[in-house]
């Protein structure tokens, strides 16, 4: 288990600042978290999108934050990540993705790793199934960490839904196991923040999803029959997004070298 810490720990009590941001073309949520109780106000971005990097960094500047990490929950197929652009605009930012994703990044994380921003941290949980490299980032557990906890589930668990499992090393069996063993075992009041929503929802809880998610409340046999019969078209940007995201969203720069 590795611990990644960019900002030196201070005596000040941690205080979470949280913003949920939306990119409408791919219906992607980007999440901004910061420890504003720390003198440096260190922050991180989860699942940034290339087309909204300027908006996100403007907000960071307005709030007086210092971005230290740009994280991806997985190698996305429906949009190009903004991590590479952020690195180019903000010196010192480190990109983060799972080791299992095989994508390029400054830091490759695995289950049990902790990513600190000030005195707050995110715990890494391996949740493969949508892709082989999916992870869920969960806010820390402890008296000095924000409660209820928050889980950034990527495409593994959506609000009343889940991600597809038919490409990028996806597996219906693995996704079912990941959700039930790594997400549904969190406290019932844990907030669920997915990477996408297509119906206008913004947040759910573990308790809600264990009761009302129409896909993942099925038994495993019924689930497998359902998910293998979806016959969904591939994402429109897949041929552009996946190659770019394997190199931190900087495909054009790599090709022009």
Residue 97 has what pLDDT? 97
E strand or H helix that includes residue 242: helix 238-245
With a pLDDT cut of 70, the percent of the chain lying above it is 95
Residues 6+ apart with CB under 8 A from 114: 1, 2, 3, 4, 121, 122, 123, 124, 140
pLDDT (tens digit, 0 to 9) for every residue of the chain, 257 residues total? 888 876 555 556 789 999 999 999 999 999 999 999 999 999 999 999 999 999 999 999 999 999 999 999 999 988 899 999 999 999 999 999 999 999 999 999 999 999 999 999 999 999 999 999 999 999 999 999 999 999 999 999 999 999 999 888 889 999 999 999 999 999 999 999 999 999 999 999 999 999 999 999 999 999 989 988 888 887 778 888 998 988 987 744 444 33
User: Which CATH number is 14-230's, of 3.30.1490.20, 3.40.50.10490, 3.60.15.10, 3.30.1330.10?
Assistant: 3.60.15.10
* Full-model pTM: 0.93
Please state the φ and ψ torsions of residue 215, each to the nearest 5 degrees: -90, -50
């Amino acid at each position: 288990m590795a611990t990644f810490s960019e900002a030196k720990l201070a005596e000040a009590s941690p205080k979470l600042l949280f913003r949920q941001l939306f990119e409408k073309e791919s219906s992607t949520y980007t999440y901004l978290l910061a420890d504003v109780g720390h003198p440096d106000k260190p922050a991180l971005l989860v699942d940034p999108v290339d087309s909204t990097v300027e908006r996100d960094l403007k907000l960071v500047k307005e709030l007086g934050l210092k971005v230290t990490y740009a994280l991806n929950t997985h190698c996305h197929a429906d949009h190009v990540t903004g991590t590479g652009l952020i690195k180019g605009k903000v010196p010192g930012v480190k990109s983060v993705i799972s080791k299992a994703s095989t994508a390029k990044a400054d830091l490759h994380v695995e289950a049990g790793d902790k990513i600190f921003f000030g005195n707050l941290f995110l715990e890494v949980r391996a949740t493969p199934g949508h892709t082989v490299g999916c992870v869920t980032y969960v806010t820390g557990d402890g008296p000095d960490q924000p409660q209820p906890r928050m889980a950034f589930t990527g495409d593994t668990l959506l609000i009343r839904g889940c991600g597809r499992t038919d490409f990028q090393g996806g597996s219906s069996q693995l996704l079912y196991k990941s959700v039930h063993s790594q997400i549904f075992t969190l406290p019932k009041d844990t907030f669920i923040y997915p990477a996408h929503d297509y119906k206008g929802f913004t947040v759910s809880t573990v308790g809600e999803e264990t009761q009302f998610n129409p896909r993942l409340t099925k038994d495993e046999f019924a689930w497998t029959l359902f998910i293998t019969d979806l016959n969904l078209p591939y994402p429109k940007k897949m041929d552009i997004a996946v190659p770019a995201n394997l190199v931190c969203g900087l495909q054009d720069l790599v090709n022009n070298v």
